[in-house]
Amino acid sequence: MYSELADTDSVACRLGGGLKVAYLVNQYPKVSHSFIRRELLGIEACGIEVARFAVRDCADELVDEGDRQELQKTQFLLAKGLKGLLPSLLQTAVKQPSQFAHALGLAWKLGWRSDRGWPVHLIYLAEACLLAQWLRQGKVEHLHVHFGTNSTTVALFSHVLTGIPYSFTAHGPEEFDRLDRIALTEKIEHAAFVVAISSYGRSQLYRWCDHVYWSKIHVVHCGVDDSFLAHPFVPIPDVPKLVCVGRLSEQKGQLLLLEAAAKLAAEGLPFQLILVGDGPLRKEIEQIIDRYQLQSHVQITGWASNAEVRQHLLGARAMVLPSFAEGLPVVIMEALALYRPVVTTYVAGIPELVVPGECGWLVPPGSVEDLVEAMRSVLLSPVETLEKLGKLGAKRVASQHHVLVEASRLADLFRRYGNAKSGYSSALNVDAISR
């Protein structure tokens, strides 16, 4: 998958020099986290050894063979439930009383400020004790976390216990919506470095930390691999089919999408809308489909593998994602890489990739009228027009979001910071960090 780019980008993707890093994610592997899997494989292609850790698994929902393979490589902190954390918690308290006391005080202070409370932060501390043991046993030199929420809290506590530097990738919108409740500012200050997935994301991190820490905030895009980028061009079918790929949740805007679909159906415009994904809103979405009598227009597939997502995208005129809140959705990259234009919203980092009139349509979030107009344009535009947009979009993705290029940038950060302390020692002043 990575061989071609590895040849052309050998300078950026140098050997890792024996560096070993660990990844920690709340849930991994996960259907919606294929971008993390691609990044991990890209880091390994750069010669860096990667250990995989997650708080919990979601094995029952996995449909992709690549995810199933990753499942076998991943250790889970809650594999034995909360009781499984007790031995490492007690051992750490006895063998490292000073570090444990500092971590416990930090958990107490951050817990009282959080929306989850002190008892949950005590669980995070217990998870950190077990993780610290695994990091030492594996001789890990750097810990990287995806999402700045609870898993980064565990990483912070683990750093207090071990001194091993950590970093994290902030995706948004959750980190930016709950920044004080998740102690985002403290996590930025005491991380070795922080990754944003877009310039917009970096600007939000800038907002919530002192200017002195700005230099360690870096943009590394999520990437698409050659299964999308190197896929042979498939002409856009001359059929009135649209596809929406994403978790069925409030922030993805599928409820608004159904309103738009109902208006198009009322106009008598022929179309089919495929919702690829699953999630907490599925039952409500099914009810709305029945209410608007959209059964002949809308289909829900449930979770899909990478190969199935590709086929759904290739079978459509365009991909529609009317999100209310986002970071920068990978599915937009996937659609454009397959020469399919997109209809999406002016949200967060999306306008950094999607240029209206160049590779798709951007509409104001929450505006059903603008969404209807854009979907109508897709359905009525000549295939040649759509293919022109798709080809321009594919060039943008190839230049900005190739997974190995982005992974090599992250690998360089690991090499730069992996053997350096972040300035936040295990003998930290807890009152200072919790000010």
What's the pLDDT at 61?
84
What's the pLDDT at 1?
38
Instruction: Tell me if 246 sits within 8 A of 277, measured CB to CB.
Output: yes
Same domain, 202 and 160: yes
Classified as helix, coil or strand, 273 is strand
Same domain, 144 and 233: no
Tokens read off for 40: 């991990």
Name, in order, each residue with C-beta under 8 angstroms of 91's C-beta and a sequence gap of 6 or more. 129, 133
What's the pLDDT at 420?
54
What's the pLDDT at 431?
39
Name, in order, each residue with C-beta under 8 angstroms of 174's C-beta and a sequence gap of 6 or more. 147, 149
Same domain, 374 and 242: yes
Q: What is the CATH number of the domain that holds 164?
A: 3.40.50.2000
CA dihedral (410, 41, 336, 398) positive or negative: positive
Same domain, 183 and 252: no
What's the pLDDT at 434?
36
What's the pLDDT at 419?
55
What's the pLDDT at 15?
47
Same domain, 171 and 240: no
Same domain, 158 and 253: no
Same domain, 146 and 255: no
Same domain, 28 and 146: yes
Name, in order, each residue with C-beta under 8 angstroms of 72's C-beta and a sequence gap of 6 or more. none
What are the CA-CA distances from residue 407 to residues 112, 157, 215 (Å)?
A: 37, 26, 20
* Domain interval for residue 302: 227-400
Same domain, 288 and 315: yes
How many residues are there in the chain?
Answer: 435
As a whole number of angstroms, the distance between CA 165 and CA 168 comes to 11
What's the pLDDT at 17?
57
Name, in order, each residue with C-beta under 8 angstroms of 109's C-beta and a sequence gap of 6 or more. 430, 434
pLDDT tens for each residue of the chain, 435 residues long: 333 344 434 444 544 458 999 999 999 999 889 999 999 999 999 999 999 999 999 888 888 899 999 999 999 999 999 999 999 999 999 999 999 999 999 999 999 888 888 899 999 999 999 999 999 999 999 999 999 999 999 999 999 999 999 999 999 888 888 877 899 999 999 999 999 999 999 999 999 999 999 999 999 999 999 999 999 999 999 999 999 999 999 999 999 999 999 999 999 999 999 999 999 999 999 999 999 999 999 999 999 988 999 999 999 999 999 999 999 999 999 999 999 999 999 999 999 999 999 999 999 999 999 999 999 999 999 999 999 999 999 999 999 999 999 999 999 999 998 755 444 333 344 333 333
Same domain, 211 and 245: no
Same domain, 88 and 160: yes
Instruction: Tell me if 34 sits within 8 A of 156, measured CB to CB.
Output: no
As a whole number of angstroms, the distance between CA 110 and CA 13 comes to 38
Same domain, 146 and 266: no
Number of structural domains the chain divides into:
2
